[in-house]
Chains A and B, each alone.
Chain A
Amino acid sequence: MPAVLEAKNVTKIFGGGFLSREEENVAVNNISMSLDQKNPKIIAVAGESGSGKTTLARLLLGIASPSSGSVEYDGKDLTEISRAERREFRREVQPIFQDPYGSYNPFYKVDHVLFSPVNNFKMAESRDEAVHMVNQALEMVGLVPAETLGRLPHQLSGGQRQRVMVARALLLKPRVILADEPVSAVDASLRATILDAVSRLNKELGIAVVYVTHDLTTAYQISDEIMILYKGNLVEAGNVETVIKKPQHPYTQLLIDSIPEADPNKKWGKLDMKKTQEKILTAPSVGWRK
């Protein structure tokens, strides 16, 4: 059985090319990953700005197309699928974006963002069924429908707004959810509730999740596997427990060492910055670890 969504040696190059004065910028360099159908997991794609993680997410979403390599959906190359298949792909691979406010049309109440996918994809037979579906999805992400529906986006907190976006994705019964920094624009105290909702979608509904983030602590908390990206390259990947607890690549080590942990007794920054950065330049990719 083919994977739901698979990237095969994708590379994305911006700029450069004929007549271009800009230098070539390899945003994603020869990265492969696959989302299993039978055993849906949460895969974290972690890296700092410029690591190519957002570009990789856009490739997987089909918003951008790779310079070389391919993104396959159910074993079929995204650039070659039919119109009908593409519509199906649109429904089955749902994104959650970083900005929980910009995702809302300020003109409409939050209901709009929930009911329009249901109507567009004809998910419900009747109005009552649509309302029922929306209520169920909201409850699934820990929101009370009566306190959420009928409000304008700015009347909800950042955490609520983002959970409504999770509910929106959920309504379409997707097979994959691609969450691009879903909590970085939200107060730290509200992050847990959003990530908890995402995690439940995976555990209870069997939806595969790609969690794109710069934050290793949240990645560690919710994901099964992790991919560490550095300047477009995959430097280390594998089981999240192994990678975080016993990092091998110096970049992973530096990242983990730089995280400010909420414990005054565990001081950050034990590694020597300069030496580690030199090591990163020469260290080979560690590859996939069990």
Chain B
Amino acid sequence: MTTTQKASSTKSSASKVGIEVKDLKVHYDTPDGVVKAVDGVSFSLRQGERMALVGESGSGKSTLAMALMRLTRAPGRIAGGQVIVGGQDMLDLDEEEMRLQRLNEVALVPQGAMNSLNPVMKIKNQLLDGLYDHQIRGDEKMSKEQQIEVVEKLLVAVDLAPGVAEMYPHELSGGMKQRVAIAIATSMQPRIIVADEPTSALDVVVQRNVMQTLGRLQEGLHASIILIGHDMGLVAQFSDHVGVMYAGRLVEVGPVKTVFKSPKHPYTRLLIKSLPTLSNKKDFIGIPGLPATLLNLPEGCAFCLRIGKETLTKIPWVKVDKDHYIQECKTCASYGK
């Protein structure tokens, strides 16, 4: 997969590669054995583009997001692979270097960002914290006026009133807190923004608003964004590319339009079919079976197990269209067509 992906990104040499993930593995050591939460994921994303990684809970998408930030916590560990941003493999850096990279190169809009803010700190100080920490302004501290100016600029960029600077998180609504989290994530103009289910707890109207703000900022910064989520609707509306994850592995990657129009992997097909729409009734069905258990998963096709079949040999990556690749398993390829 690595090679095919790489080929695709270098072909369109006009746009630079923003982030390249090669064979990333995150393992959890449990008493019952090793759980491969992320099992050899590779993809690359051009600078300024949006990619979504979707999957059910337990597909490893959030674990992947944390690994991209190198925030994997024990008992999890990054067991191998590369995460290349700006020619630098993030996994080669030591802790201190990586700390400086966060926010500066790669930034995270965390899951349930509303709970990620410090409840006893003014919004202003939470915004400035990251800047001070990364010594953007050299060693000298900013003057009061400069501080106010910087904070105001950050808040206005996410459609918040400058007055929010003096407030505490509990005085803000969920959508506003999410905007603050986005402001913090973009405060250092990162190259890559990882957004882990950024709107999962918000109402649809607020969700749309927040996503549009995030999109606008990302375009302004010419950053790449990796959206982690389970909502195929949001993915269709927001991103340019989509990667579908199942059981810790990518099974299909491609441009949003082609994947939604003609999904090639049976799991993607079912995922799209399982979504209710407003256009026609009775057009949504559930995915049968249980999500895969990641413990002692065989090398072969994980989705086959879900539908009661078995393919034990390693599945090849196949190019089906421009930028569109799938893990082609002969056994389940036509399932649910």
Q: In whole angstroms, how far apart are the Cα atoms of A193 and B290 in the complex?
A: 12
Chain B residues with CB below 8 A from A188, complex form = 56, 230-232, 271, 274-275
B286 touches which of A189, A215, A265, A267 (Cβ 8 Å)? A189
Interface string of B196-227 (1 = CB under 8 A from A): 00000001111111001000000000000000
Chain B residues with CB below 8 A from A269, complex form = 208, 212
Is B130's beta carbon under 8 Å from chain A?
no
B207 touches which of A157, A187, A258, A273 (Cβ 8 Å)? A258
CB pair A220 B257 closer than 8 Å: no
- The residue in chain A whose Cβ has the minimal distance to the Cβ of B242 is A264
Given contacts A49-B203, A254-B205, A255-B205, contact A216 B278 (CB under 8 A): yes
CB distance from B177 to the nearest CB of A (A): 14
Interface string of A198-218 (1 = CB under 8 A from B): 000000000000000011111
Is B276's beta carbon under 8 Å from chain A?
yes
CB pair B204 A255 closer than 8 Å: yes
Is B71's beta carbon under 8 Å from chain A?
no
CB pair A273 B209 closer than 8 Å: yes
CB pair B286 A192 closer than 8 Å: yes
Q: In whole angstroms, how far apart are the Cα atoms of A262 and B256 in the complex?
A: 10
CB pair A261 B237 closer than 8 Å: yes
Q: In whole angstroms, how far apart are the Cα atoms of A214 and B201 in the complex?
A: 11
CB pair B285 A48 closer than 8 Å: no
Is B236's beta carbon under 8 Å from chain A?
yes
Given contacts A187-B56, A217-B277, contact A259 B286 (CB under 8 A): no
Given contacts A49-B203, A221-B281, contact A192 B57 (CB under 8 A): no
A260 touches which of B230, B234, B282, B290 (Cβ 8 Å)? B234
Chain B residues with CB below 8 A from A286, complex form = none
Is A81's beta carbon under 8 Å from chain B?
no
Interface string of A207-244 (1 = CB under 8 A from B): 00000001111101100000000000000000000001
Chain B residues with CB below 8 A from A254, complex form = 205
Interface string of B273-305 (1 = CB under 8 A from A): 011111101101111001100000000000000
Q: In whole angstroms, how far apart are the Cα atoms of A195 and B283 in the complex?
A: 13
A-B contact count (CB 8 A): 113
Is B80's beta carbon under 8 Å from chain A?
no
CB pair B285 A192 closer than 8 Å: yes
Chain B residues with CB below 8 A from A258, complex form = 204-205, 207-208
CB pair B204 A262 closer than 8 Å: no
CB pair A268 B208 closer than 8 Å: yes
Is A64's beta carbon under 8 Å from chain B?
no
CB pair B203 A192 closer than 8 Å: no
Q: In whole angstroms, how far apart are the Cα atoms of A195 and B204 in the complex?
A: 20
Is A13's beta carbon under 8 Å from chain B?
no
Instruction: Give the B interface residue count (CB, 8 A).
Output: 39
CB pair A262 B232 closer than 8 Å: yes
Instruction: Give the A interface residue count (CB, 8 A).
Output: 39
CB distance from B142 to the nearest CB of A (A): 33
Chain A residues with CB below 8 A from B65, complex form = none
CB pair A261 B231 closer than 8 Å: no
Q: In whole angstroms, how far apart are the Cα atoms of A258 and B205 in the complex?
A: 5
- The residue in chain B whose Cβ has the minimal distance to the Cβ of A216 is B278
- The residue in chain B whose Cβ has the minimal distance to the Cβ of A190 is B286
Is A256's beta carbon under 8 Å from chain B?
yes
Is A191's beta carbon under 8 Å from chain B?
yes
Given contacts A49-B203, A220-B276, contact A260 B286 (CB under 8 A): no
- The residue in chain B whose Cβ has the minimal distance to the Cβ of A245 is B278
Interface residues of A (CB under 8 A from B): 48-49, 157-160, 187-196, 214-218, 220-221, 244, 254-256, 258-265, 267-269, 273
Interface residues of B (CB under 8 A from A): 56-57, 203-209, 212, 230-238, 256-257, 260, 270-272, 274-279, 281-282, 284-287, 290-291
